[in-house]
C-alpha cells in the first residue's frame, strides 16, 4: 500500500511539473510584447533638408535616408540594400539610390531600377506638417 | 476477388499499349527540375567550349565554373553584354555586347557593378598610375578575370606585389588590415555554424556583409592611415555582431536543455506509471 | 466536497451509471496487448497537433510575402515559439508513425474482420486525411523545402491522363505553386480537414465502442464460435476493467511517445528542418536535393522506377483501393495471422518492401 501511495505522490509531482513546464512557456508565448517592440518616432525640421538633398539618420536601429524630392516631396527609405545588405547612397544628379557593392539602382520610391536586388527598399511611414516631418 | 482481374486489365492495357512509354516518362518526369541539376541555356558557353575555339579560349568557360561569380549566378553576359539565349545575336552590339576591355579600361569594366570599389581604386596610387601611364595594376592583376575567388587578405602577398615594387609598404598595409580580417573570418565561421543548427541568420548576414564590403573597399585605397583610423570603428561593429551571435548560441543551448528537461519528465512519468501498473490495488 | 459535486451530477445525469458502463465496469479482453493502446496514442497526438497548431496560428500570417518571416519570428522572436513549432513539426511525423503502427497492428490481429469492416474503412480514410494534413501543412512555412516538395507532390497527379491535369490544377489554383496555393492549403489545413477528421474520429470511436473491443486472435477467440447473423455487443466479462487498468497502459504509451518526441526536439532539432527549410521560397531556383517528406518517399520512389507514368500512378491507386477494401477481400474466418502462412508472408513482404522503398527514396 505504501508503495502505491509513494508512486501516486511522485507521479502527481511529475505531472504538475510537466503541466507547469508547458503553462509557463504558454503564458510567455501569448503575453503581449514589451515596450521594446514599439517603434520610436523621429521628428525633423523641414529646413534641415533642402529640396533635392537627403539626410541619413538611424531609424529603429536601421540606417535610413530621408530624401526631399523636387517633384514628390519627402520620402523615408531604408538604406539596407535588399540584395546582400550594403548601404545605398543618394546620387543627386541621376535621382537614384546606388549601392556601391554591386551597382544596384533604386529609384526615389525605393523600387529596383536595375541590378541584383530582389525586392524594393522598405519605406517608413512619414507625416509632413507645416514646419516639421514625423517619421516612424 | 473476381473483380480484381478485369480491373487490373482495364488499368494496365492502355499504358502498356504505348510503345514509347520509357522515353515519355523520362521526358516528363525525370527531366523535371527536381530530378537533377538544372542546366540553364547559355549559347556563350556552348560555343566557347566547343572545338571551334582556340585551346586558350576553350579554357575560359571551365575556369569560370570554378569562380565565385559562377557560384553567385553571374555569367558571361553580365559583364560582357550580349544575348545568352540567341546564338545569332549573342555578340551583337545592339544586344549590349562590349567584348574584351582594353588593359587600362578594365577598372570601368568591373566597376559597372563594383561601383564603390572603382571609386576607391581610381583615387589610389595604383589607379592613378594606371590612368596616367597605362602601366600599373588593374583588377585582373590581383583578381583573375574568369576564375576569380572570394576576396581574402591573402591576395596581398609578397610574390604578387614585388612584381612592381618592394614589399615593405605592403607589409604595413597588410598588418593594418590583419586584425579586422581575422575577426571577420571568425564571424563568418560562426554564422555558418548557426545555419547548420537551423537558425535563420539573414539579418545578421546582411549586417555582416555590409560591414565586410565596406572594409574590403578600404583594401583598394592603399591609405594606411585611413585604414588605421577606421579599424576601431570596424572592430566595434564586428564586436557587436559577435555579441549577437554569442547570444544566439546561448539561446540554442537553453532550448536543448529545456527540451531535455521535458524529455526526462516524460521518461520519469512513463517509468512511474509502469511501476504503478505492476503494483495493482488489491 | 468531491462527494457533494458527484452527488449533484448524479441526480441530474446519472453519473454513477455512466462511470460504471463506460469506465469501471467496461471490460477489455484478458489477453489484450500493448498494441491496443496505439489508437488512443494517435488521438492524443492529434490533440497535440490541434493545440500547438492553434498557438502557431496566433502568430502565423498566411500571405506568401509574410508567411516565411512569420514562421521565423515564431522560431526566433516570440518567447518559446520554437517549442510549439518543434512540437508541431516533430509531432506531425510522430503522429504518422503512430497511425501507421496502429494500422499495422490492427491488420496483424485481424481486427478488420466481420463485424468490424466499417471501423477499418473509416480508419483508412482517417489515415488518408492525416497524410493530406501533412501535405497541406508542409507548404505553410513557405520555405524552399515547402515550395519545391509541394511542387512535386501537386505535379504527381498529372501522371493520370486528363483527370490528373484537372486535379493538379485544382490543387495548385494556378499554373505553378503560388500564393493562391498557399491560401487554399491553409484553408484546407486549418478548417476543412480538422472538421472532417473530427467527424471520422467520432465515428471511429463510436464504432469501436458499439461493436465492442476485439480479442487478440492468439489463443481462444470465443467470437468466432458463433456466426454473425444479427447484432450483438462483444463484451469480455472476465477481462480487465477499462478504468483504471487499461487507461494506465494507455497513459504509459502516451508518456513513452511524448518522451520520444522530446528526444528528437532535444538531440535532432534539424532532422526535419534541413537547411532548405530556412531559406525563403524562390520559384526560380530549385535546391539541389529536394525530396518529399519521409512518409511520401515510398510512393515517390515507386513512381520513379516504374517506366510508365500512368502505370505507376494507377498501381498506387490500386494499392490504396486494396488497402481500403481489404476486409472485403479477406473474408476468411480465421483471425490468427500465425495460422495463415500466405497472408503472413504477404504482410511481411509488403512491410519490408515499403521500408526498402522509403530508404531507397531517401538515398537515390
What residue ranges do the domains of chain B occupy?
102-138, 157-245
Q: Do A25 and C83 touch (CB under 8 A)?
A: yes
Q: How confident is the model at residue C302 (pLDDT cuts 50, 70, 90)?
A: confident
- Chain A residue with minimum CA distance to B119: A100
Greater model confidence, B266 or B113: B266
In three-state secondary structure terms, B281 is coil
Tell me the C-alpha to C-alpha distance, in Å, between residue A115 and each of A94, A107, B71, B116, B209.
16, 12, 17, 14, 17
- Residue scoring higher pLDDT (A1 or B185): B185
Domain boundaries along the sequence of chain A: 2-31, 42-135
pLDDT of C129? 96
Residue C183 has which C-alpha cell? 491560401
pLDDT of residue B13: 63
Nearest to A103 among B115, B214, B269 (CB): B115
pLDDT at C219: 65
The CB density around residue B99, as the number of other CB atoms within 10 Å, is 11
pLDDT value of position C252 = 95
Quote the pLDDT of residue B11. Answer: 65
* Percentage, residues of chain B above pLDDT 70: 87
Residue of higher predicted confidence among A129 and A121: A121
Give which of C232, C31, C7, C28 is closest to C114, Cα–Cα: C232
* B147-159 average pLDDT score: 83
Using 50, 70 and 90 to split pLDDT, how confident is the model at A24?
very high
Mean pLDDT of C168-175: 88
- Mean residue pLDDT of chain B comes to 81
pLDDT for C289 beyond 80? no
Dihedral (Cα; B51, B56, B62, B67), 10-degree rounding: -160
**Strand order from edge to edge, sheet including A96-98:** A89-91, A96-98, A105-106, A112-114
pLDDT at residue number B64: 85
pLDDT at residue C141 in the model = 95
Whether A23 has a pLDDT exceeding 90, the answer reads: yes
CATH class of the domain whose range is A42-135: mainly beta
Q: Which pLDDT value is given to residue B39?
A: 54
Show residues of chain A in contact with B116, CB under 8 Å.
Answer: 86, 100-101
C328-337 pLDDT, tens digit per residue, is 988 887 778 7
Asked if pLDDT for residue C225 goes beyond 90, the answer is no
pLDDT at residue C256 greater than cutoff 90: yes
Q: How far apart are CA A53 and CA A49, in angstroms?
A: 6
- Domain boundaries, given as residue ranges, for chain C: 29-280
Q: Is B18 a residue whose pLDDT tops 70? A: no
What is the Cα–Cα distance from C208 to C206, expressed in whole angstroms? 6
Q: Dihedrals φ, ψ of C34, to 5°?
A: -65, -25
| Most confident of the following: A101-110, B67-76, C134-143, C240-249 | C134-143
C54 falls in which pLDDT band (50, 70, 90)? very high
Do residue C58 and residue A26 have CB atoms under 8 angstroms apart? no
Give mean pLDDT, residues C17-42: 88
Flag if B196 and C270 touch (Cβ within 8 Å): yes
Q: What is the pLDDT of residues C134-146, one digit of tens each?
A: 999 999 999 999 9
* Average pLDDT, rounded, for chain C: 89
d(CA B17, nearest CA chain A) in Å: 48
- Which spans in C60-192 are helix H? 67-76, 81-108, 117-139, 144-155, 163-172, 179-187
Interface contacts B/C by beta carbons within 8 Å: 105
Neighbors of chain C by Cβ distance (3+ pairs < 8 Å):
A, B
- The span from the CA of C328 to the CA of C340, in Å, is 17
ipTM summary value: 0.89
At A67, phi and psi to the nearest 5? -110, 135
- Separation between Cα atoms, residue A49 and residue B263, nearest integer Å: 59
Interface test with B, best of C145, C278, C299, C305 (most B CBs within 10 A): C278
Q: Is the pLDDT of residue B137 over 80?
A: yes
CATH 1.20.810.10 fits C29-280, yes or no: yes
8 Å CB contact of C55 and A28 = no
Distance CA A4, CA C1 (A): 24
Give the per-residue pLDDT at B227: 79
Amino acid at each position: 500500500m505504501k508503495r502505491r501511495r509513494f508512486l501516486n505522490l511522485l507521479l502527481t509531482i511529475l505531472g504538475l511539473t510537466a503541466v507547469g513546464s508547458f503553462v509557463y512557456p504558454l503564458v510567455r508565448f501569448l503575453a503581449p510584447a514589451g515596450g521594446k517592440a514599439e517603434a520610436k518616432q523621429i521628428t525633423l525640421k523641414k529646413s534641415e533638408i533642402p529640396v533635392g538633398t537627403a539626410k541619413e539618420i538611424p531609424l529603429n536601429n536601421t540606417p535610413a535616408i530621408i530624401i526631399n524630392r523636387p517633384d514628390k516631396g519627402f520620402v523615408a527609405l531604408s538604406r539596407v540594400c535588399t540584395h546582400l545588405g550594403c548601404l545605398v547612397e543618394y546620387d543627386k544628379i541621376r535621382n537614384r539610390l546606388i549601392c556601391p557593392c554591386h551597382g544596384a539602382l533604386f529609384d526615389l520610391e525605393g523600387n529596383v531600377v536595375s541590378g541584383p536586388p530582389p525586392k524594393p527598399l522598405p519605406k517608413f511611414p512619414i507625416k509632413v506638417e507645416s514646419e516639421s516631418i514625423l517619421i516612424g | 476477388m473476381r473483380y480484381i482481374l478485369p480491373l487490373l486489365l482495364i488499368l494496365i492495357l492502355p499504358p502498356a499499349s504505348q510503345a514509347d512509354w520509357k522515353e515519355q516518362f523520362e521526358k516528363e518526369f525525370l527531366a523535371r527540375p527536381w530530378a537533377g541539376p538544372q542546366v540553364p541555356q547559355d549559347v556563350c558557353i556552348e560555343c566557347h567550349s566547343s572545338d571551334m575555339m582556340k585551346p586558350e579560349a576553350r579554357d575560359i568557360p571551365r575556369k569560370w565554373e570554378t569562380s565565385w561569380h559562377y557560384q553567385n549566378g553571374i555569367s558571361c553576359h553580365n559583364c560582357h553584354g550580349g544575348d545568352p539565349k540567341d546564338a545569332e545575336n549573342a555578340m551583337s552590339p545592339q544586344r549590349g555586347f562590349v567584348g574584351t576591355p582594353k588593359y587600362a579600361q578594365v577598372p570601368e569594366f568591373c566597376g559597372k557593378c563594383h561601383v564603390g570599389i572603382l571609386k576607391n581604386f581610381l583615387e589610389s596610387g595604383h589607379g592613378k598610375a594606371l590612368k596616367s601611364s597605362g602601366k600599373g595594376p588593374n583588377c585582373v592583376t590581383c583578381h583573375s578575370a574568369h576564375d576569380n575567388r572570394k576576396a581574402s587578405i591573402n591576395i596581398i602577398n609578397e610574390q604578387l606585389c614585388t612584381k612592381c615594387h618592394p614589399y615593405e609598404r605592403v607589409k604595413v598595409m597588410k598588418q593594418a588590415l590583419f586584425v579586422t580580417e581575422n575577426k571577420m573570418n571568425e564571424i563568418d565561421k560562426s554564422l555558418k555554424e548557426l545555419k547548420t543548427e537551423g537558425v535563420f541568420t539573414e539579418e545578421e548576414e546582411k549586417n555582416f556583409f555590409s560591414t565586410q564590403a565596406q572594409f574590403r573597399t578600404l583594401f583598394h585605397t592603399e591609405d594606411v592611415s585611413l585604414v588605421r583610423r577606421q579599424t576601431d570603428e570596424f572592430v566595434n561593429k564586428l564586436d557587436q555582431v559577435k555579441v549577437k551571435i554569442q547570444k544566439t548560441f546561448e539561446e540554442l543551448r537553453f532550448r536543448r536543455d529545456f527540451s531535455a528537461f521535458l524529455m526526462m519528465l516524460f521518461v520519469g512519468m512513463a517509468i512511474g506509471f509502469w511501476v504503478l501498473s505492476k503494483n495493482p490495488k488489491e | 466536497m468531491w462527494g457533494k459535486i458527484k452527488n449533484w451530477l448524479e441526480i441530474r445525469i446519472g453519473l454513477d451509471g455512466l462511470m460504471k458502463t463506460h469506465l469501471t465496469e467496461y471490460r477489455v479482453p484478458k489477453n489484450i496487448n500493448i498494441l491496443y493502446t496505439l489508437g488512443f496514442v494517435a488521438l492524443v497526438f492529434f490533440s497535440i497537433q490541434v493545440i500547438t497548431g492553434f498557438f502557431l496560428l496566433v502568430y502565423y500570417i498566411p500571405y506568401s510575402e509574410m508567411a516565411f518571416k512569420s514562421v521565423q519570428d515564431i522560431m526566433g522572436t516570440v518567447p518559446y515559439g520554437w517549442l510549439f513549432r518543434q512540437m508541431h513539426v516533430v509531432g506531425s511525423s510522430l503522429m504518422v508513425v503512430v497511425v501507421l503502427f496502429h494500422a499495422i497492428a490492427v491488420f496483424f490481429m485481424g481486427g478488420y474482420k466481420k463485424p468490424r469492416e466499417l471501423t477499418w474503412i473509416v480508419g483508412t480514410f482517417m489515415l488518408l486525411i492525416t497524410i493530406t494534413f501533412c501535405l497541406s501543412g508542409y507548404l505553410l512555412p513557405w520555405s524552399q523545402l515547402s515550395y519545391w516538395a509541394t511542387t512535386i507532390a501537386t505535379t504527381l497527379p498529372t501522371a493520370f491522363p486528363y483527370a490528373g491535369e484537372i486535379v493538379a490544377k485544382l490543387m495548385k489554383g494556378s499554373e505553378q505553386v503560388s500564393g493562391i496555393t498557399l491560401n487554399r492549403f491553409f484553408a484546407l489545413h486549418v478548417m476543412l480537414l480538422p472538421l472532417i477528421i473530427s467527424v471520422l474520429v467520432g465515428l471511429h470511436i463510436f464504432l469501436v465502442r458499439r461493436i465492442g473491443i476485439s480479442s487478440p486472435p492468439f489463443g481462444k477467440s470465443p467470437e468466432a464460435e458463433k456466426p454473425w447473423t444479427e447484432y450483438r455487443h462483444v463484451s469480455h466479462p472476465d477481462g480487465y476493467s477499462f478504468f483504471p487498468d487499461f487507461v494506465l497502459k494507455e497513459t504509459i504509451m502516451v508518456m513513452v511517445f511524448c518522451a520520444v518526441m522530446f528526444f528528437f526536439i532535444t538531440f535532432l532539432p534539424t532532422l526535419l528542418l534541413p537547411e532548405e527549410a530556412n531559406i525563403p521560397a524562390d520559384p526560380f531556383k530549385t535546391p539541389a536535393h529536394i525530396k518529399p517528406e519521409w512518409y511520401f518517399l515510398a510512393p515517390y520512389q515507386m513512381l520513379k522506377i516504374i517506366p510508365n507514368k500512368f502505370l505507376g500512378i494507377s498501381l498506387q491507386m490500386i494499392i490504396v483501393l486494396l488497402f481500403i477494401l481489404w476486409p472485403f477481400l479477406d473474408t476468411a474466418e480465421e483471425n490468427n495471422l500465425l495460422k495463415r502462412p500466405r497472408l503472413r508472408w504477404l504482410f511481411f513482404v509488403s512491410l519490408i518492401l515499403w521500408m526498402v522503398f522509403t530508404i531507397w527514396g531517401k538515398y537515390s
